[in-house]
Amino acid sequence: MRIALRRFLRAAKLDAETFPSGAQFLESLQTHQPDCVLLDLHMPDMDGFALAEAMRAMPGADAIPIIALAAMVSAEAIERGRAVGFHDFVAKFDRTGLIAAIKEQSADMDRAA
């Protein structure tokens, strides 16, 4: 899914970088601050909730908008996601909703700057 998502985002004229693990992504935040982060809730090494908590603990990364990608979203997941700093939830296969969420979060960051 990682490669398909990257291709989809690039086709939508959005610059996208993917990481094979949560740890590698966190390491990248030491030198690069993305405009927006898409997190799959079900990753192999670290789930999206744990990764969001780790991001929020990092100076400079605490304000980056996070969009959660999930196959199914429950009220409990939304509540937990808000607690760890998710800005939005999008179904994994809702491509139109994903682009809209990215553009909304990017626009919010532009207004805050």
- For each of the domains in the chain, give its residue range(s) and CATH number, in order of start: 2-112 (3.40.50.2300)
Total-model pTM: 0.78
Tokens of 8: 């989809």
**pLDDT at residue 11 in the model:** 80
What pLDDT digit, counting tens, does each position of 39-76 carry? 888 887 889 999 999 999 998 888 899 999 888 778 88
First to last CA, the chain: 32
Q: Are 109 and 75 in contact (CB under 8 A)?
A: no
Tokens of 27: 């390491």
Where would I find the beta strands (DSSP E) of 1-113? 37-40, 66-70, 88-91
- Distance, in Å, from the CA atom of 21 to the CA atom of 15, rounded to the nearest integer, reads 19
Tokens of 24: 């590698």
Q: Are 69 and 40 in contact (CB under 8 A)?
A: yes
- The amino acid that residue 78 corresponds to is I
Q: Are 68 and 41 in contact (CB under 8 A)?
A: yes
Q: What is the mean pLDDT of residues 78-107?
A: 85
**pLDDT at residue 28 in the model:** 93
